[in-house]
Chains A and B, each alone.
Chain A
Amino acid sequence: MKAADAAPRNLPALLAALHEDERDAAVIVGGTPGGTIHLRQGRIVGVDTPGAPSAESTLLKSGRVEDSAWAMACAASGSGGNTLRDELRRRDLLTPEEFEIVCTAALFDGAFALALGSAAEWEVRGPSRPVVTARAFAPHLVTAETTRRLATITELWGSATELARTRIRTANTSPVRLLPRHTDILEAANGRRTPRDIAFALGRGTYAVMLDLSHLRALGLIEHDTPPLGRPSTAPRMPGPRTGTPSPAAPAPLPKRSPGARHPHRSDAV
């Protein structure tokens, strides 16, 4: 029996088993955000998720590559063994190094975004060719980096999952000197956007935006409401543990009332 055929206890265990078997596969991950992890010979080549911008999204939104030029390069790749990386270089749109950096950043950002969901269910399917791929990474490297990122956000902000659900707005403070990328975030933080929404609006990575938000919060430049919790449970209420037996009220004499005296109304007494 191959390693991936045994029921894995979690997603990293499944990816490790697929790596061991050198499988080509697409792992569909459920939850919010869900996504797809693309594997070639057991190594991760891409992560698609609504929780983080793809390499294409980053390149187009940031204006690094024009949409029409990108579309033509995508259409031309694949024919005659040309990869997208080759086409982008041939058309002087991106150097291979730039392409690799953007793809690698998107891969790790996608894995980080997937880790913010519950990832309680998954399904292994046959490989689907992601158009935008560069280097492949062993799953344990991706898992280790994702764990490091989660720990960093937890240290700087608090719960990374909670930050992912938080809608950020700019605080009314006096202007200070900031880096352009920080100013961009302040302009995008309109009280309706989560860090993921800001990342998509600016063409940046979700993790990078979360890091900058932590910095901006430390400077007092952003505000946020606590994200709403889920609806209250309808399960039967269980009495909580009592901290001690309440002592009975000390006996006291009833107040005396005399005719004609003014007795305050209940609301006046507040």
Chain B
Amino acid sequence: MPEIHQPEPLVEVLTALREGVMGVSETVISTVDGLLVAADVDAVHAESIAALSAATHSLAHRMAHEAGGTGLRDVTTRSADRHVVVLAINDRALLTILGDDGLDLIRLQHDIHTTLAHLAKILKGDTPA
């Protein structure tokens, strides 16, 4: 009997995001302290992205606080040919989206709330290690 491949639910959500938004190339879910949870990657080193995402989000959170801002929404890094967007899924997890310079930001902003809600729902079942 052939084995039925059951994709990891988190990766399924990440793949749907990549296929639904033009320009999304790779995605990583990490804990806020930099551990890799799940990834849909091809060329990047997922563990490194996870660690850097935690540091990036922490710094941006501190910067926003220092500037008198509340409720950090996302951290976006733009280089000549890449976009990197780091968002909080919940208090314990981050989603990092890597895209090319043509990333459809309007569509991403539209779709991202549903994606974050799906991921948060799946992660809600996590028990303390």
Which residues does A use to contact B, with CB under 8 Å? 32-34, 50-54, 57, 60-61, 67, 190, 192-193, 196-197, 200-201
**How many interface residues does B have (CB within 8 Å)?**
14
Q: Does A50 contact B23, Cβ atoms closer than 8 Å?
A: yes
B residues less than 8 Å from A51 (CB atoms): 22, 102
Chain B hits for A67, CB < 8 A = 80
Question: Are A33 and B81 in contact (CB-based, < 8 A)?
Answer: no
Listed in ascending order, the chain B residues whose CB lies under 8 Å from chain A are 18, 22-23, 25, 42, 80-81, 100-104, 106-107
Chain A minimum-CB-distance residue to B100: A200
SS of B interface (majority)? loop
- For residue B40, which residue of chain A has the nearest CB? A192
Q: Please give me the 10 A-B residue pairs with the lowest Cβ-Cβ distance, nearest first.
A: A50-B104, A67-B80, A200-B100, A50-B22, A50-B102, A200-B102, A60-B80, A57-B101, A192-B42, A61-B81
Cβ of B107 and Cβ of A57 under 8 Å apart? Answer: no
Of A50, A192, A193, A200, which is in contact with the most chain B CB atoms at under 10 Å from its CB?
A50
**Are B22 and A190 in contact, CB atoms less than 8 angstroms apart?**
no
Chain B residue with the shortest CB-CB distance to A71: B80
Complex CA gap A49/B107 in Å reads 12
Please report the C-alpha to C-alpha distance between residue A197 and residue B101 in the assembled complex, in whole angstroms.
Answer: 10
Instruction: Give the residues in chain A near B104, CB-CB below 8 Å.
Output: 32-34, 50
The answer to whether A50 touches B42, judged by C-beta atoms less than 8 angstroms apart, is no
Task: Determine how close the nearest CB of chain A comes to the CB of B80; give it in whole angstroms.
Answer: 4
CB-defined contacts of B22 to chain A, threshold 8 Å: 32-33, 50-51, 196
Instruction: Give the residues in chain B near A34, CB-CB below 8 Å.
Output: 104, 106-107
Asked, given contacts A57-B81, A61-B81, whether A50 binds B103 with beta carbons under 8 Å apart, the answer is: yes
Task: List 25 contacting pairs A-B, 8 Å CB cutoff, sorted by A.
Answer: A32-B104, A32-B107, A33-B22, A34-B104, A34-B106, A34-B107, A50-B102, A51-B102, A52-B102, A53-B101, A54-B102, A57-B81, A57-B101, A60-B81, A61-B101, A67-B80, A192-B18, A192-B42, A193-B25, A196-B22, A197-B23, A197-B100, A200-B23, A200-B100, A200-B102
CA distance A52 to B22 in the complex (A): 10
Which residue from chain A places its CB closest to the CB of B106 in the assembled complex?
A34
Minimum Cβ distance to chain B for residue A230 (Å): 11
A192 touches B81 (CB 8 A): no
Name which of A34, A53, A197 has the most chain B CB atoms within 10 A of its CB: A197
- Bound CA span A71–B36, Å: 36
Chain B residues contacting A32 (CB-CB under 8 Å) are 22, 104, 107
Residues of B within 8 A of A57 (CB): 81, 101-102
Among candidates A33, A52, A197, residue contacting B25 with C-beta atoms closer than 8 Å: A197
Q: Contacts of B18 on A, CB cut-off 8 Å? A: 192
Cα of A192 to Cα of B106 in the assembled complex, Å: 22
A65 to B104, CA, bound (A): 24
What's the nearest-Cβ distance from chain A to residue B107, in Å?
Answer: 7
Q: What residue of chain A has the Cβ atom nearest to residue B105's Cβ?
A: A50
Nearest Cβ distance between residue B99 and chain A, in whole angstroms? 9
